[in-house]
Structure 1
Amino acid sequence: MTTRKTASRAKAALVEESDVSKSRIRQLNETAILSGAERVFARAGFGGATMAQIAEEAGVPKPNLHYYFGNKAELYRAVLDRVLHDWLSPTDVITADADPREAIESYVRRKMALAYERPDASRVFANELLHGAPVVGEMLQSELRRTVREKAAVLDAWIAAGRIAPVDSTHFFFTLWANTQTYADFDVQIQAVLGADTQSPRARKRALEHVLNVTLRACGLSSLPNSSS
């Protein structure tokens, strides 16, 4: 009897392990496909991108794309959905009980990191907006609007408590997005003006310090210590 129970437990464990393994493989495949699609859509746009190009960029067989996402329109929407969620995630540091300076600095740093590490994410999203947001319009009016209102309310509470200088708490986010995402969307313009490698650690540090100082000063907060600005 004991042997049967032991064997049954072992079989259950194997099944669970198998399920976990399959889930992990699916997650890895979906991530690879979404990352590859992000790069292709950023370069070619929705109309110019093909499933064959995305499969090659992602390093997976073309049938896998259809298995996980059905068609190009479904995959495009999934890419945009991931970009929006990844961009909204850094706002989790802006809470009522957070230190305003620490929260704002952390948010700016994370947004700048996204601009440098995933510029194609910014570009594909910007291209969608330039075309009137036909796919993500609903998400902008629901999830994005809700998040901005919640975080703007936190800034308003900080202002009321005298913790930061008065700012338009909603336009604060518009300005911050413009200041950070320009390093992804218009990197070629920045390179042309500077005549230098904008991706070097020194160049990134210079840009980050500038955006941080502009943002902090607008809120009446102290700028970075020993800043080159």
Structure 2
Amino acid sequence: MIDFSPLHILAIALVFFLAGAVKGVTGMGLPTVAMGLLGVIMPPVGAAALLIAPSFVTNVWQLFSGPSFAALASRLWLMMLGIAAGAIAGARLLTSDAARWTTMGLGAALTIYAGISLLAWRWSVPAHMERRLSPFIGLATGVITGGTGVFVIPAVPYLQALDLDKEDLIQALGLSFTVSTIALAIGLAGNGAFQFGNIDASALAIAPALLGMGLGQRIRQRVSPAAFRRWFLIGLLLLGLQLVLRPLL
């Protein structure tokens, strides 16, 4: 499923280093960048399998770096349940033979996320609607995660709409991404695309991802995060469009 020639190993390491750097600067984006770039050189299901270990390690780190884990877990458990169910079920799409459509789906998810973020489109969720919306947002996020390996739509805009303070938002994103990673791993394993007893290839991506995060945190102190994020989203938009159009050409 995955080509482990020296050139591909180098390419994978560079992808996760870059993805980690983006996460270090912006606080998110490792799965999105990794899936987008790896999708150029391998099928999305192979990229998703490589993503599991580095995504889990970096997201657990982010999850437990804040002060409000118990409160956020209690508040968002319906959303997390929806993510888990949707991702496990949606992984059937990623592991099917329809590589053309999963590549296009990955590209569409990247394009939509980048477009919404560049437009700075924000909405607010009234408190009385949160409990009703959370399971549906979670289920939609899970299905998209299972089908494309991208964790952000619609979870990230929804969590931003809850008007959490900065630290709680970062921790809530860590919770969402961690649940998405675990559920995706279960879904892939259930469909024969990921073996929990043989995660060497995915584990090899942890080191470059962590090195990239360290570099990204240093870059964040020297450049404008807003400017970096804008150019990152423009690149992501172009990459997404390329993945959408490639199977049609």
Q: Which protein has greater RCO, CA pairs closer than 8 Å, 6+ apart?
A: 2
TM-score by length of 2: 0.29
**Whose radius of gyration is greater, 1 or 2?**
1
